[in-house]
Structure 1
Amino acid sequence: MPDLVVIHYTAMETAEAALARLCDPCAEVSAHWLIDERGVLVRLVAEPDRAWHAGAGAWGGVTDVNSRSIGIELANRAGTPFPAPQMASLEQLLDGIMARWDVPPERVIGHSDCAPGRKIDPGPKFDWARLAFGGRAISVPLRGGGDAGDCAAFVAAMRVAGYTGSDDPALLLAALRLRHRPWAGGPRDGTDMALARDLARRFPVDRTRPGP
């Protein structure tokens, strides 16, 4: 039974090209849903069935993400903004999926979250804040100041928050920033460390509800 949603972009020139690839058995890739730039939904795989969209990803204790998740592909050439009709359609789709499968907002993730260093989609242009505002994803306040902590403390906090796809601090930092502060650059700072700790405290993967 699915209890995760993974959001992707297609990284192809057109939705039609993406659809052809997702339907090609030789490509060995699939997803449950495709949403084109106009917001048109195409169901490719029934939600209870396994689709090949997450690869060798991991989230918390889930090491076979394909067997536990619903994959949503957004037609996007990679690195371009997502049109308003597409985002509105995604929101409606998420409302249905989250209700049907009792998926909490903290288990709506990006491909980059479960595959740090291997995947970057849905990328820095994706509007996670919009989803979080509507209760369809999670966010935490960004707090400046403080120290960056050591690598072990950062990795430990990220693992509690679900980022078990890598133990490399640099890859985890890139994944964290892609999701929560894509404008940031440079080495890990106090804001990154506070963000990782807040995620671990409020949204640990071994609990179904945020902490206090």
Structure 2
Amino acid sequence: MIEAPSPNFGPRPDNARIDILVLHYTGMPSREAALERLCSSKSEVSAHYLIDEMGEVYRLVDEGRRAWHAGIAYWRGAVDINSRSIGVELVNPGHEYGYSAFPIAQYAALQNLALNILSRYPIPARNVVGHSDIAPGRKTDPGEFFDWQAMAGIGVGLWPMQSNHLELDIGRLKTLLGEIGYDVNNLAAAFRAFQRHFRPTRVNGRMDSETARLILGLHEQVGGNSPLSV
């Protein structure tokens, strides 16, 4: 692991419970550009770790500190996501600079890092999320090329089976999506975020039978509504 200290952090609240893992892409043209921004006091952004395309892991902020990676966000009733999360940035140009697939070496390094983090903190699988899940109206990362299904297969996050039941009532699906954890005030954005994570082949923010069955399946898997304690 390479130490690349960022000045962009603060203290976690006393007795803070770390129970969310947030995955991002850097959305910058290069690793060097990403490191420069994440380690510049002028940017006021950071993460705990950065993983480049070759699988090198950089530690930017100590896990005991509150890194500034989530911004305005929401998950399962919690709004101060930075105080209760670990943030990992994956070097990728993102949608603005030529979004591309994540290399195998990067996935391998993320797998090792994420499993290590999950072994040390009470982070349930449903709280392994992308930036777009917690900020659906603002963010699209790590994006539809990120293989959430493969990560869930090795124990990082969840992957739902489609429910045998079909429910197309928008009000009911909105309730279920909110109980899973999403901010549903902008429902189309929440649908897009869900699709980007769990149905990445078609991300359009529109309800269809496949999306509905996946929402129902994930809701059944996580056991319904259980807001995070503040």
Same fold, TM-score > 0.5, yes or no: yes
State the 1:73 CA deviation: 0.2
The structure 2 residue matched to 1:3, chosen from 19, 27, 33, is: 19
1:137 aligned residue: 157
Taking the TM superposition and a 5 Å limit, the aligned residue runs for 1:36-75 are 36-75=52-91
Identify the residue that residue 118 of structure 2 maps to in structure 1.
98
Contact 1:148 1:192 in 2 (8 A): no
Q: In structure 1, which of residues 137, 159, 173 is the aligned counterpart of residue 178 of structure 2?
A: 159
Shift of 1:145: 8.2
CA distance in 1, matches of 2:42, 2:36: 11
Q: Distance in 2 between matches of 1:103 and 1:161?
A: 15
Query: Could you tell me how far apart the structure 2 residues matched to 1:65 and 1:180 are?
Result: 21
Q: Equivalent of 2:186, from 165, 168, 180?
A: 168
Q: CA deviation digits over 1:61-100, x for unaligned, max 9? A: 2111011100000000112100000000000000110011
| Alignment partner of 1:195 is 2:211 | no
| Contact 1:154/1:169 (<8 A) preserved | no
Q: Deviations over 1:157-195 (max 9, x none)?
A: 01110112x422211110110000111256311221222
Deviating 4+ runs (over 4 angstroms): none
Write 1 or 2 for the structure with the bigger share of helix.
Answer: 1
Over the residues paired in the alignment, what is the CA RMSD in angstroms? 1.8
Render the CA deviation track for 1:86-132: whole Å, top value 9, x for unaligned. Answer: 00000000011001112222111000100012100000100101101
Query: Quick check: 1:31 aligned with 2:51?
Result: no
Q: Distance in 2 between matches of 1:44 and 1:205?
A: 34
The share of aligned pairs that are identical, in percent, is 39
Give the aligned partner of residue 22 of structure 1: 38
Given that residues 145 and 191 in structure 1 are in contact (C-alpha distance below 8 angstroms), is that contact kept between their aligned partners in structure 2?
no
Cα separation, partners in 2 of 1:183 and 1:40, compared to 1, 3 Å: same
Work out which of the residue numbers 181, 185, 197 in structure 2 matches 1:179.
197
The equivalent residue for 1:113 is 133
5+ unaligned residues in a row in structure 1: which ranges?
A: none
SS of match in other structure, 1:25:
coil
Report if the CA contact (8 A) 1:111-1:119 is conserved: yes
Q: Deviations over 1:122-148 (max 9, x none)?
A: 001001011011111101113588452
Q: 1:33 to 1:205 in 2, by over 3 A?
A: farther
| Cα 1:207/1:199, change in 2 over 3 Å | farther
Letter in 2 for 1:18: A
Distance 1:158 1:180 in 2: 12
Q: TM-score, normalised by structure 2?
A: 0.84
1:206 positional shift = 1.6
